[in-house]
């Protein structure tokens, strides 16, 4: 472990001194092709889009754990305002409509699409045609694949077009983002008379399972959506669509939120089930944590932290001899203390540091071989040496139990220490079987910079590599 930590430290120092390029883990995630409003096959048309209704039904991806998909069903009422019939090959982009890649030079495609005209299925054909330009596009190829279908628009008659397909979400756990492109509707005649974009989730939408403030790191959910039950709706009238009208929604991984709901039911059914309280605490913690261990700082994220802490305390009141749940609770408190208190310059009014160190001390007293507790103490010793000292014999001196570390400054003063308790090996006490481990989250960029960069960045890299309760 010490050799691994030392190697990470060396690599970080090299990266800090010689910032040759941005690491992939510090960049935006690769995007998936979005849902898109139909485009006409002609540059000039008398056909107007009278109305557009799009429903994105988001669910967990059954083929890819930790990811989400959106079944997309779009209906378009079209009317030919001209005096003669128009026949055209309408188009739907199967990849990024504007010639972009996913951000990494790849061009994923929507796997399949179904089209109906006035309620009847019509065949589509795949054609390679020039991309459609956008206000904000960085085209990486001149042509893209399109799903093309033939349709006739008689004068002064409504024609109903229905398109259905499934798109993948994208992002870093625990969030998944989806986009819907409205700007391509500008190719039809005049304005879009009315448009309604509806996002449906398998449960009630709230601030805890929806990113409203850009916590995910790659854009917030588009403002203006009206939440009701399990839906979010954006409504437009006489829309001349531009890039700014495109819709994005970032949601918590559906499988994770369904885990939260399941464990809430379990503890409601049996409040004396300590393991269920622990699983609920862990699920809340996963929902509150961002890559590298940062906690969400939006109202929903703060609620999740409080709920996780409460559930851990109820778990430990029922299972006081479970070393791993003590470690999981310490991990939650450490995430808040490290980034929001110590590195964030806040005051530890809740005594998070002594509490989390006490939890780790108890964890090792119950199980001296608890590797996750040792790894967390090792991380703390590297991030804040004034809080924990790693001893040569493998034990740890918990300085933070009796002295408050001084926040980072160019020349930090050493705190005056009093009695220093030391964690040593004690006889192991049996404890319940380990609960399922956390899903590791990829890394994203660390917002810290300057002289305080190296230690928190190092801590983040090590933290996301671990799985604990």
Residues 160 and 119 both lie in one domain: yes
Residue ending a domain, choose from 200, 218, 252: 252
The one-digit pLDDT tens for each residue of the chain (469 residues) are 544 444 444 444 433 333 333 333 346 789 999 999 999 987 799 999 999 999 999 999 998 888 999 999 999 999 999 999 999 999 999 999 999 999 999 999 999 999 999 999 999 999 999 999 887 778 899 999 999 999 999 999 999 999 999 999 999 999 999 999 999 999 999 999 999 999 999 999 999 999 998 888 777 899 999 999 999 999 999 999 999 999 999 999 999 999 999 999 999 999 999 999 999 999 999 999 998 888 999 999 999 999 999 999 999 999 999 999 999 999 999 999 999 999 888 899 999 999 999 999 999 999 999 999 999 999 999 999 999 999 999 999 999 998 777 666 533 444 443 334 444 444 444 434 344 444 444 333 333 333 344 444 444 444 444 444 6
Peptide bond into 174 cis (omega under 30): yes
Question: Which residue range forms the structural domain that includes residue 38?
Answer: 31-252
Residue 454 to residue 456: CA distance in whole angstroms: 6
Residues 207 and 287 both lie in one domain: no
pLDDT of res. 66: 83
Residues 335 and 419 both lie in one domain: yes
Residues 345 and 381 both lie in one domain: yes
Residues 265 and 369 both lie in one domain: yes
What SS3 class is residue 30?
coil
CATH number where 360 lies = 1.25.40.10
Looking at the domain assignment, is residue 51 inside a domain?
yes
Residues 313 and 231 both lie in one domain: no
Residues 94 and 188 both lie in one domain: yes
Residues 248 and 340 both lie in one domain: no
Residues 305 and 228 both lie in one domain: no
Residues 161 and 268 both lie in one domain: no
Q: What is the CA radius of gyration of the chain?
A: 27
Place of tokens 């991990």: 331
Domains of the chain: total: 2
Beta strands in 109-217 (DSSP E): 113-117, 120-122, 125-130, 143-153, 158-168, 175-181, 192-200
Looking at the domain assignment, is residue 469 inside a domain?
no
Residues 39 and 181 both lie in one domain: yes
Residue ending a domain, choose from 195, 229, 252: 252
Residues 100 and 240 both lie in one domain: yes
């Amino acid at each position: 472990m010490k050799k691994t930590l030392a190697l990470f430290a060396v690599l970080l120092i090299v990266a800090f001194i010689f910032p040759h390029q941005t690491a992939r883990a510090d960049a935006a995630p690769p995007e998936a092709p979005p849902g898109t409003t139909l485009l006409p096959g002609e540059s000039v048309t008398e056909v107007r889009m009278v109305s557009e209704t799009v429903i994105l039904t988001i669910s967990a991806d059954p083929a890819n754990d930790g990811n989400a998909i959106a079944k997309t069903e779009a209906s378009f009422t079209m009317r030919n305002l001209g005096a003669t019939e128009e026949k055209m090959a309408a188009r739907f982009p199967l990849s990024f409509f504007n010639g972009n890649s996913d951000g990494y030079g790849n061009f994923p495609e929507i796997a399949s699409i179904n089209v109906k005209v006035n309620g009847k299925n019509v065949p589509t054909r795949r054609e390679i045609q020039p991309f459609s330009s956008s206000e904000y596009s960085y085209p990486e190829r001149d042509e893209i694949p399109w799903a093309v279908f033939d349709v006739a628009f008689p004068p002064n008659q409504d024609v109903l077009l229905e398109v259905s397909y499934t798109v993948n979400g994208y992002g870093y756990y625990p969030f998944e983002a989806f986009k819907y492109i409205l700007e391509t509707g500008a190719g039809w005649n005049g304005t879009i008379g009315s448009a309604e974009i509806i996002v449906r989730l398998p449960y009630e939408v709230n601030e805890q399972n929806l990113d409203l403030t850009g916590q995910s790191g790659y854009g917030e959910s588009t403002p203006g959506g009206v939440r009701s039950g399990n839906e979010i709706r954006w409504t437009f009238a006489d829309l001349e669509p531009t890039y700014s009208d495109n819709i994005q929604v970032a949601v918590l991984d559906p499988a994770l939120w369904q885990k939260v709901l399941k464990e809430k039911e379990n503890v409601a059914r049996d409040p004396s089930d300590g393991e269920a309280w622990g699983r609920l605490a862990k699920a809340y913690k996963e929902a509150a944590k961002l890559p590298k261990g940062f906690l969400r700082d939006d109202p929903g994220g703060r609620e999740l932290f409080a709920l996780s802490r409460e559930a851990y305390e109820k778990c430990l009141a029922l299972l006081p001899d479970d070393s791993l749940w003590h470690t999981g609770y310490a991990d939650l408190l450490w995430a808040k203390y490290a980034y929001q208190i110590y590195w964030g310059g806040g005051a530890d009014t809740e005594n998070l540091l002594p509490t989390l160190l006490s939890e780790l001390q108890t964890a090792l007293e119950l199980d001296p071989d608890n590797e996750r507790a040792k790894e967390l103490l090792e991380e703390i010793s590297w991030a804040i040496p004034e809080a924990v000292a790693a001893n040569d014999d493998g034990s740890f001196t918990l300085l933070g139990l009796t002295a408050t570390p001084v926040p980072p400054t160019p020349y930090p003063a050493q705190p005056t220490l009093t009695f220093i308790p030391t964690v040593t090996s004690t006889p192991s006490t049996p404890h319940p079987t380990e609960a399922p481990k956390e899903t590791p989250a990829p890394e994203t960029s660390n917002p810290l910079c300057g002289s305080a960069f190296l230690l928190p960045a190092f801590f983040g890299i090590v933290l996301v590599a671990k799985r604990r309760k």
